[in-house]
Amino acid sequence: MRTIVHLSDLHFGRVDAGLVEPLIETVRAARPHVVVISGDLTQRARAWQFKEARTFLDALPKPQIVVPGNHDVPLYNVFARFLTPLENYRRYVSADLEPFYRDEEIAVLGLNTARSLTFKNGRINQEQLQVIRSRFSFKEPGVTKILATHHPFDLPKGHDEDDLVGRARTAMERLAACRIDILLAGHLHVSHSGHTADRYRIAGYSALVVSAGTALSERRRGEQNSFNLLHIDWPRATVSRCVWNPDQNRFVEAQSEIFAHGAEGWRQVAEPPKTEAS
Ligand SMILES: [Fe+2]
Ligand SMILES: [Fe+2]
């Protein structure tokens, strides 16, 4: 069994400061095998914001799979935006924009979907599809394949398709060919889980799509701050949502969903009664 902590949209520069230490404590207590952070580490890609993000990363368990988000590309400094868009990210977070972790039970790849040419939207390109192929073409059974990007491959109801990662449909064919199991994303500041088969019809394939809310940002879009905790024990995966409870001044597990892998891909097998976190 493997435990993954999935954080997203930290937005240092606009964090709710009282949540930082409780989040670090909760993540450490989960004793994860991997910590995934799916982008938007900062609010405006400023050096001081990345320094704060660096201090936070240093306090979390390792290994870490971290990818940038659209907020990690400078917005107003046009020269930096187009000439050195990820300079601060590379300096303070990581120069590796294709981070990869693998052990006997899970393989996790992170890819950068943030782009200079669009302010908000993201993309996946041909080179990255090649990276997906080279990292995930192995066929050993029982290894759960996980891809982390900032921009999501699926959306909760009511969201505009513009929020999907660009070239998602082309990429989905590659993901299906490599039998990617789980897609982790952020960007929406909304927790959500779904199945790729609901949006992309590929025979015999349905990956699990898991989006995390914002862990620390003050821009909560109607939800409390939260993060995801995944327990993976092939062919099952449990996705739990840990939500900030202001009354208890801590993150608490609010909801769990259990999924199983079968002939048609990943499907939810049980939905335990929801408990109210706040
Ligand atoms: Fe964000
Ligand atoms: Fe974003």
Alpha carbon of 215 to ligand 1 centroid (Å): 10
Give the separation between CA 254 and CA 23, rounded to whole angstroms.
15
Give the separation between CA 101 and CA 81, rounded to whole angstroms.
29
Better pLDDT: 219 or 187: 187
Q: Is the peptide bond before 235 cis (omega within 30 degrees of 0)?
A: yes
Of residues 38, 29, 31, 26, the one with CA closest to residue 65: 38
Alpha carbon of 71 to ligand 2 centroid (Å): 6
Better pLDDT: 112 or 278: 112
The pLDDT, as a whole number, for residue 165 is: 87
Q: What is the pTM of this model?
A: 0.94
Catalogue all structural domains in the chain, each as residue range(s) with its CATH number.
2-269 (3.60.21.10)
CB 226 within 8 A of CB 244: yes
pLDDT digits (tens, 9 = 90+) for 172-196: 999 999 999 999 999 999 999 999 9
Give the separation between CA 90 and CA 241, rounded to whole angstroms.
30
Alpha carbon of 216 to ligand 2 centroid (Å): 13
CB 278 within 8 A of CB 260: no
pLDDT digits (tens, 9 = 90+) for 38-83: 999 999 999 999 999 999 999 999 999 999 999 999 876 776 766 6
pLDDT classification of 278: cutoffs 50, 70, 90: very low
Alpha carbon of 200 to ligand 1 centroid (Å): 25
Q: Which ligand has its closest atom nearest to the C-alpha of 114?
A: 2
CB 6 within 8 A of CB 230: yes
pLDDT digits (tens, 9 = 90+) for 88-100: 999 999 999 999 9
Segment among 14-28, 152-166, 229-243 with least mean pLDDT: 152-166
Alpha carbon of 185 to ligand 1 centroid (Å): 11
